Amino acid sequence: MQIKDTITQGQTSLGIEFGSTRIKAVLTDLSANVIAVGTYDWENRLTDGLWSYPLDEIHNGLRGCYASLKKAVRDSFGVTLTCFGAVTISAMMHGFLAFDEKGGLLTPFRTWRNTNTGKAADELTEAFGFNIPLRWTVSHLYQAVLNGEPFVTGISKVTVLSSYIHFLLTGENVVGIGDASGIFPIDSVDMCYDKAMMQKLRQKLSAKGFDKDPEMLLPRILCAGEQAGFLTKEGAAFLDPQGDLEPGAPFAPPEGDAGTGMTATNAVRPTTGNVSAGTSTFAMLVLDRNLSKLHREIDMVTTPDGAPVAMSHANNGTSDLNAWVRLFKEALALFGREAEDNEIYEKLYTASLSGDPDCGGLMSYGYYSGESITGLESGRPLFIRKPDAAFTLANFMRSHLYSSLAAVKMGMDILFKEENAKVSSLTAHGGLFKTEGVGQRFLAAAMGAPVTVMETAGEGGPWGAAVLGLYMLERKKREISLPDFLDGVIFKDANGSTIAPTKEETEGFERFMQGYRSAITAEKAAAEDF
């Protein structure tokens, strides 16, 4: 009865996150305990050579995910969702959504996965003296202008996925500062788009015949704790066509999956870090000082409250690993053996623990798309081995698990070995860590540092989004920083497990990385010629 009352009285926080392969909604109580979860599976597709999700699939995914949550609540508690105490929208960062003045989409949504923006990223990086990655929104905008694409003359608004969904539901054209830091460089003092760099962008765009003010095209920045609007009548009808949802719920600023990942792992204070491992993999470290120089392998973003963060981002994570698991499932079916996906993952991941620390001469590149850290504009999943390799199932699975972390490790090595960056704690979350003690152990070996996985890790970013909603509610009552709120309220009694790497494991991963770096020429050749 207590949970029913919590739901019906709107004493809840809802986080909805658009991931690469799944849209997930997490409903919590006001203490961040999970009440119910809803999901909707989807996949990006190549449209005219670019990775995209159709607009109608974005809409259907939002409604489908909410319907799944609504059903879960009804099935478990016998009540209908009608209201929430707070709502936060989150989504994969970066990419490019361009609209005309009537709200029409001018070109299919270009996701973070696209790597066709090399010229734009290079020019902007040189002009700004600041690393501008290929997947950033400003790279997509500037590349479209460089290409002379006809639609650019009609642009009235440029945004990212979280901000777009937020606008659908609230009518507010805003974005959280963490997600904004994947649109354009941020001034972490004034909490706005960097003014000097924005002026340089105006000049470069004007020289190319694009006379619109780019800053006026972008969503307005808000920080964690600020209120970002309310659920409108139209938004409620869009989200819940059955008409049960009431308007009026307050919204926190929409955030990117990096920001919700930091929140979900309590990694927003300087020297704390986190790793999110799934379809893409990224590691983030909140800095206590500026980097000594520009590194093209390192992205500079921010926490949801605007603190500077160094990020190592790999476009490719577990996609190829998942494909191999599906193949093993097919093999099982040939022998009349049916097994749930979770069982197959657990068995195969656990088997990898008995493999050689360096994978015994096996090498994998799970490159479904290009990878900026290793300089590839396109990719091909590739598995190779030495003739005398220890070709066992354990080593095979271990090589793919290592590979899903290899690119992101290259970026983190720069922070640890070249910049001597300090790290007080490293926390992990995402699908890679669902099998206890496997992905966590390999990540610890890759980072050469202890890694903690919290009990909340399985819910990941959408739970982090819900927590940001709770922070907004707390800020209405009292002045408190996001780090203090997470430490003193959300994670006060949190449980988790920590694994420290052995010397043998760390050295084994380093030997694997030597081969990974050396054989990257084979991956490049495959991407060019196959």
Instruction: Please indicate, yes or no, if residue 509 is contained in any of the structural domains.
Output: yes
- CA–CA distances in Å: residue 346 to residues 207, 433, 470, 482: 56, 10, 34, 35
| Alpha carbons 321 and 365: distance in angstroms, whole number | 10
Judge if 453 and 514 occupy the same domain.
no
- Cβ-based neighbours of 499, under 8 Å, separated by 6 or more: 437, 440, 441, 444, 450, 451
Cα atoms in the Cβ-side hemisphere of radius 13 Å centred on 330: 6
Nearest to 310 by CA among 298, 321, 322: 298
With respect to residue 311, please indicate whether it lies within any of the assigned structural domains. no
C-alpha distances (whole Å) from 34 to each of 28, 458, 459, 463, 464 are 4, 11, 9, 8, 11
pLDDT at 456 (0 to 100): 61
308: Cβ contacts below 8 Å, ≥ 6 apart? 188, 286, 287, 290, 300, 301, 302
Q: Which one, of 454, 452, 446, 437, lies nearest residue 351 by Cα?
A: 437
Asked whether residue 270 falls in the same domain as residue 400, the answer is no
DSSP string, 181-228: TTTS-EETTTTEE-HHHHHHHHHHHHHTT--S-HHHHSPEEE-TTS--
List all residues 6 or more positions away from 210 whose beta carbon is below 8 Å from its beta carbon: 145, 152
pTM for the structure as a whole:
0.85
Assigned domain for 352 exists: yes
DSSP state of 387: T
Assess contact for 454 and 265: CB atoms under 8 A. yes
Do residues 182 and 256 touch, judged by C-beta distance below 8 A?
yes
23: part of which helix (H) or strand (E)? Answer: strand 22-29
**Helix, strand, coil proportions of the chain in percent (round to 5)?**
45, 20, 35
Domain range holding 280? 257-288+421-499
Q: What is the number of domains present in the chain?
A: 2
Report yes or no on 36 lying in a domain: no
Cα(91)–Cα(169) distance, rounded to whole angstroms? 15
Is 127 part of any domain? no
Position of tokens 């990419």?
95
pLDDT (0 to 100) of residue 457:
56
Q: Is residue 55 in some structural domain?
A: no
Same domain? For 461 and 514 the reply is no
Tens-digit pLDDT profile for the chain (530 aa)?
A: 799 999 999 999 999 999 988 999 999 999 999 999 999 999 999 888 899 999 999 999 999 999 999 999 999 999 999 999 999 999 999 999 999 999 999 999 999 888 899 999 999 999 999 999 999 999 999 999 999 999 999 999 999 999 999 999 999 999 999 999 999 999 999 999 999 999 999 999 999 999 999 999 999 999 999 999 999 999 999 999 999 999 999 999 999 999 998 999 899 999 999 998 888 888 999 999 889 999 999 999 999 999 999 999 898 999 999 999 999 999 999 999 999 999 999 999 999 999 999 999 999 999 998 898 898 988 999 999 999 999 999 999 999 999 999 999 999 999 999 999 988 889 998 888 889 999 999 999 999 999 999 876 556 789 999 999 999 999 999 999 999 999 999 999 888 899 999 999 999 999 999 999 999 999 999 999 88
76 found inside a domain:
no
314 part of a folded domain: no
Q: Is 374 helix (H, G, I), strand (E, B) or coil?
A: helix
Q: Closest Cα partner for 123 from 155, 146, 101?
A: 146
Q: Are residues 387 and 519 in the same domain?
A: yes
The torsion of the CA quartet 277, 278, 279, 282, rounded to 10 degrees, works out to: -20
State how far the alpha carbon of 428 is from the alpha carbons of 196, 264, 409, 450, 457, in Å. Answer: 35, 9, 14, 10, 7
